[in-house]
Amino acid sequence: MKISKLKRVYFLGVGGIGMSAIARYLHSKGVEVFGYDKTKTKLTKTLEKSGIKIHYTEDVSLIPDKIDLIIFTPAIPEENLVKIYLLKTGIPMKKRAEVLGWITKEGKCLAIAGTHGKTTTSAILTHLLKVGGVDCNAFLGGIAGNYRSNFVAGKSKVMVVEADEYDRSFLHLDPYAAVITSMDADHLDIYQDGENMRSSGFGAFAKKIKKGGHLFLENRLHLRKPHGVSKISYGVEVGEVCAQNVAVKNGYFHFDYCFGNKIWKDLKFSLPGLHNVENAVAAISLARLMKVKEADIRKGLVSFKGVNRRFEFIVRNPKQIYIDDYAHHPTELSAAISAARMLYPEKSITGVFQPHLFSRTKDFKRGFASSLDELDAAILLPIYPAREKPIKGITSKSIFDLMKSKNKKIIKKEKLISYLKKQKIEVLMSLGAGDIDTEVIEIKKLLNSK
C-alpha cells in the first residue's frame, strides 16, 4: 500500500511512543488521523493540539466512517472492545512496524537497533544530521529535547528510524545503513532465549540491510557479515571507529574520535556516561556517512539536549541532584548508575526502581539485584505490569531478597513521597519504564522545598 493513497487512518493505541510518531508523520502529510488510547497523557494531549482526534473510552460509536487503514500495536489486549469491533469491519489492519516499513521504503533508511541505547543514538544522529544540513525525517522512541517530539519532520529522503526488536518489528525495515548497539537477552516471551534472539532477531535484521549498505556493530558483538554489506566495529578505546582519551571536564564528557588513520581531537559531548560516548561514536559514524562535516558534528554534540527520561536532569543544584531515567534492564540500570557515579564520585546515590513486566522480573531478577546493589540506597516499587497478567511468586520482593545491600526498602508508589521526605538525599535517581514518571513532578517539588 502506498502512503500517498491514504486519506483517513485510525490508530488503535495512538498514545504509544512509536505509534504517535507515525501518527504525526501521516498527519504532516495531510492524512486525517484518528485514534483510541486507554489513558489521556501529555503525549496524547500534544497529538490532540496538532489536530489528531482521539477518544479514551471503548465506545465504538466514536470510530469515524470511511477509514482506509487501521494501525495497531500488539500492546492492545485481545479483549479490548474497540479491537474486537475493528476486527469485524473488514478494514485493512496493519501493525505499526509494517507501516513504518512502508514509509521508510520511500527514502534512505538509517536504522538504529539494539536492546539498549537505540533511542539516544537515534536522537543524537538526528541532531547531527539536522545541524549538518541533512534535513532528515526521524521516528524516535522518546521525546528528543532539541525538537520536543518523537517525530522530527524533514524534506530530504533520509529517514532515521529506531529499529525495535520487540515482536521482531525491525524485520519490516530495509535500511541503507544500520547500527546495532547491543544484543543482551530480553523479550524472552518472544525469543525464548538470548541465542535465538541474536540469530533470528538481530542476525535476520542485519541481513535486511541493502546491498552496498553499511552495518556498524558494537565492538563486543559478533554477527556474520551480511553479503554485499560493509561491517564496521565501534566502541570506546576499541573498534575500527572509536572514542579514546575519554575524560570528564566541568560536567561534560570529552573524547577523541578515531577512524582510519584520522583523529578528531577533544570532542565535547553534553551527555554523561561511557555508554553515551559509545552511542555518540555510532551516531558520528553514520553522520559522516551522510557527509556531515567535522565542524557541524562538534556543534551538534555540544548542543544536543538529550532525550526525555534518558538520564534527564530534573533537579541540578549544588545541594541536590535528581535524575530520571527509563532504565528497565539490568545492563541499563548499571550504565545509568555508573554514569551518575562518574559525575558525582563523592556523593551518595539513592535509586527508586519500578520493575517493568512480570516476565522481565522473572527472567532477570538476579541481574536487577546485582545492578541495584551498585546504589548506596535502593527503593523498590511494585512491578508495573503493562500488558501482562501476574506470574505466581514474582513480585519486587523477588529482586529485593537477592540483593546484598543493607540499605534497601520496598514501598508502595503512593507512599514514595512521604518516605523520601524523611531521607537525606544527595543524588536521587528514578528508574524504570512503567509509570514511575508520574511521580517526577512531586519529587521535584519535594527536593526544591528541602
Residue at a domain's end among 63, 94, 125: 94
Mean predicted confidence (pLDDT) in 301-324 = 92
Q: Which grid coordinates belong to 122?
A: 537515534
Residue at a domain's end among 303, 333, 361: 303
pLDDT digits (tens, 9 = 90+) for 338-384: 999 988 999 999 999 999 999 999 999 999 999 999 999 999 999 99
Instruction: Examine the pLDDT at 77 and tell me if it is beyond 90.
Output: no
Instruction: Examine the pLDDT at 199 and tell me if it is beyond 70.
Output: no
**Helices (H), strands (E): how many in the chain?**
15, 21
pLDDT at residue 169 in the model: 83
pLDDT at residue 186 in the model: 59
Number of domains in the chain: 3
- Ranges 239-243, 270-274, 277-281, 363-367: which has the least confidence: 270-274
pLDDT digits (tens, 9 = 90+) for 41-64: 889 999 999 999 999 999 999 999
Over pLDDT 90: what percentage of the chain? 79
Most confident of 154-168, 242-256, 290-304: 290-304
Kind and range of the H or E run holding 206: helix 204-206
Radius of gyration of the chain (CA): 22
Q: Indicate if 272 and 205 belong to the same structural domain.
A: yes
- Residue 388: band (very low, low, confident or very high) from pLDDT cuts 50, 70, 90: confident
Q: Indicate if 222 and 116 belong to the same structural domain.
A: yes
Q: Indicate if 370 and 278 belong to the same structural domain.
A: no
Rounded distance, CA 318 to CA 417, Å? 22
Mean predicted confidence (pLDDT) in 277-299 = 98
Domain CATH number, residue 64: 3.40.50.720
Rounded distance, CA 135 to CA 154, Å? 5
Q: Indicate if 125 and 247 belong to the same structural domain.
A: yes
pLDDT at residue 365 in the model: 97
For residues 259 and 282, the answer to whether their CB atoms sit within 8 Å is no
Q: Where in 24-107 does DSSP place strands (E)?
A: 32-36, 53-55, 69-72, 93-95
Q: Indicate if 55 and 149 belong to the same structural domain.
A: no
Mean predicted confidence (pLDDT) in 194-221 = 87
Q: What is the pTM of this model?
A: 0.85
- Determine the structural domain holding residue 399 and report its residue range: 312-449
pLDDT digits (tens, 9 = 90+) for 186-197: 555 565 566 667
Q: Indicate if 228 and 375 belong to the same structural domain.
A: no
Q: Indicate if 60 and 117 belong to the same structural domain.
A: no
Of residues 200 and 373, more confidence is placed in 373
Instruction: Examine the pLDDT at 84 and tell me if it is beyond 70.
Output: yes
In sequence order, the 6+-apart residues with CB closer than 8 A to the CB of 60 are 81, 82, 85
Domain CATH number, residue 190: 3.40.1190.10
Rounded distance, CA 359 to CA 364, Å? 9
DSSP string, 130-163: HHTT---EEEEEEEETTTTEEEE--SSSEEEEEE
Rounded distance, CA 131 to CA 134, Å? 7
Instruction: Examine the pLDDT at 265 and tell me if it is beyond 70.
Output: yes
Residue at a domain's end among 94, 125, 154: 94
